Amino acid sequence: MSNQLNPKWIGSMQKNFTTTWKFRLILCRILPMGFLSGMKVRQLDEERCVVTVPYRWINKNPFRSTFWAVLGMAAEMSSGALLAMYTFRQKPSIAMLIVGTTAKFIKKAQGVTTFTCTDGLKVRKAIEKTLETGEPECIECLVTGKDKHGNDVAEFTFTWSVKARSGKG
C-alpha cells in the first residue's frame, strides 16, 4: 500500500471547509444539525482546526447556555475535519469512526464558543501508518472550547479509529 497523501485534495478540503457557503452546503448534505447550529470552520490547516458555534435560540438549553450536545457536535467537527481533510479521496479509502469520547464542562457557554484541535500532525501520522500497514490505528484528539474572553468552557477528547480499506477503495 502507498502511504502518500495527495496535497491537492488536502488543499481542496481546506478551501471547502473554510469557505462559509461551501461548508454550509456540505453540512446541509451530511450533517443537517450542524447547519442549523450555525457552526463554522474558522481555520483548517495541517496542524489545527478551529470551529465556532454560537449561542442562539436553536442551540440553547433551559439554563440560558448552549446545550451540551451542540458543544459536543462543534468539538467533534474540530477533530473530524482534520480526519476528513487527510482522508478525502484517498486511495485506498479510509474508514474512520469515533470509538470513545470524554467531556468536561467547565463554564456555561453563553456566547460564541471556539473549539480548537491541534492534533493534525498526529492524525496525519496515523493515517499514513494505516495506509502503510493496512492495520487500524487509534488517534486520541484533545479539543478545547473557549469563550470570547479566552476562558475555558469545555474540554473534549475524541478517540478515532482509522483503517485503510482493502481493495481499490
Sign of CA dihedral 69, 111, 36, 19: negative
Q: Which one has a higher pLDDT value, 36 or 10?
A: 36
- Structure confidence by residue, pLDDT tens digits, 23-55: 999 898 989 999 999 999 999 999 999 999 999
The CATH number of the domain covering residues in 7-164: 3.10.129.10
pTM of the model: 0.92
pLDDT in tens, 116-142: 999 999 999 999 999 999 999 999 999
- 48 backbone dihedrals φ, ψ, rounded to 5°: -150, 160
- Rounded CA-CA distance 107/147 in Å is 9
